[in-house]
Amino acid sequence: MQTKDMCEVTKVNEDIVFSIKNQIPDLGAAAQIFKALADETRLKIAFALTIEEELCVCDVGEIIGSSTATASHHLRFLRDLSLAKSTRKGKQVYYSLADHHVNALVKIAYEHAIEEGEKDGKSS
């Protein structure tokens, strides 16, 4: 274990710790959002939906290079976590991001990754 990443002594500021512990809400639902977007395929779908506001399942399948069934599975997963919404138009089902929060999360995550890559001398 590298000690440079740890305090050399244990000295807890009990007032700060108590204050913060009492302010942290249940973050289970938020963790599920990040878990869903941690899958690269689902993140690619969400990113595509930041470019084009609405896409049919067939188009999503082509974008991610999968079958319509696989695309539908991922889209349903996003919908079930309230990250996406769907509407039927005739024989096709179209998906869009649930709201501007999801759009912002996806864009901010990408922008952060690009900035970190530039700092590390990597390009995307």
Q: Which residue has the tokens 């138009």?
A: 89
Residue indicated by tokens 């990040």: 34
Structure tokens at 34: 């990040």
- Helix 57-64 crosses helix 68-80 at what angle (to 10 degrees)? 110
- Which residues, listed in sequence order, are joined to residue 54 by a DSSP beta bridge? none
**pLDDT by position in tens, the chain (length 124):** 556 888 888 899 999 999 999 999 999 999 999 999 999 999 999 999 999 999 999 999 999 999 999 999 999 999 999 999 999 999 999 999 999 999 999 999 999 999 987 887 765 4
CB 93 within 8 A of CB 87: yes
Q: Quote the CA–CA distance of 30 and 64 in Å, as a whole number.
A: 25
What Rg value do the Cα atoms of the chain yield, rounded? 20
**CATH code for the domain defined by 40-124:** 1.10.10.10
Contact between 124 and 117 (Cβ < 8 Å): yes
Question: pTM to 2 decimals?
Answer: 0.84
Angle among Cα 41, 72, 52 to the nearest 5 degrees reads 65
* Pairwise CA distance, residues 122 & 124, whole Å: 7
The 8-class DSSP code of residue 121 comes to T
Q: The tokens of 57 are what? A: 């399942």
